Structure 1
Amino acid sequence: MKRHCLALDLKDDPQLIAEYENWHKSENGWPEVRKSILAAGIIEMDIYRTGNRLMMIMVTDDWYNESLKAASDAANPKVQEWEQLMWKFQQPLPWAKEGEKWVPMKQIFHL
């Protein structure tokens, strides 16, 4: 298993942030998106927020492959619909590469 930590910003608008959080309540998540996450080898996924900064922690199987997950998502119309909806609330980090949403974080400490 491997842990991945990623960051992304939300648009700094309290109403949009509240709406984003509402979409991420378990009763509002889309089953097709959850299925695609689990099928990719993601065992656990947590998203934390402070202000408008998000941090995602994923625990994946050893066989998880980010490129395969991206290709699978690109071919899944429901996942693409979800991503379009979420982009209403999200904005890239200032240092994100072109087209990059969630930016991998570098681990700098472990105890």
Structure 2
Amino acid sequence: MQRMGMVIGIEPQMIAEYKRLHAAVWPEVLALISRANIRNYTIFLREPENLLFGTWEYHGTDFEADMAKIAADPKNQEWWSFTIPCQKPLDSRKEGEWWAMMEEVFHHD
């Protein structure tokens, strides 16, 4: 199991919409996340900086392949058509990233 984290900005005028969407995530999207070996997935919002922080546990063996399956799924692409306009990627993210991946520097069970 690998713990992972990521961060992205959120457009201030889209915060209410983003919360509304995530209050009722589509069952197909939730099932897809589970099939991609992701568990304990949480997204936090930090205002007034308007940052979203996502964290999860990855229980698979090929993260890139699992993420490619998520990206290729038509229902997920439809979901993203609603969520992506809410998000504001960080200028400092690596090439190819939408959400900027983070390094774990501490964990305590």
TM-score normalised over the length of structure 1:
0.85
1:72 aligns with 2:77: no
CA RMSD of aligned residues (A): 1.6
1:101 aligns with 2:98: yes
Identical columns (%): 34
TM-score normalised over the length of structure 2:
0.86
More helix by share: 2
In the alignment, the residues of structure 2 paired with residue 99 and residue 12 of structure 1 have an alpha-carbon distance, to the nearest angstrom, of: 24
Gaps of 5+ in 2: none
Count of residue correspondences:
106
**1:17-60 deviation per Cα after TM superposition (whole angstroms, max 9, x unaligned):** 011011111xx211111011000111210111112101111012
1:19 aligned counterpart, secondary structure: helix
In the alignment, the residues of structure 2 paired with residue 92 and residue 17 of structure 1 have an alpha-carbon distance, to the nearest angstrom, of: 15
- Displacement of 1:98 in angstroms is 4.2
- Displacement of 1:66 in angstroms is 2.4
In the alignment, the residues of structure 2 paired with residue 21 and residue 71 of structure 1 have an alpha-carbon distance, to the nearest angstrom, of: 25
1:108 aligned counterpart, secondary structure: coil
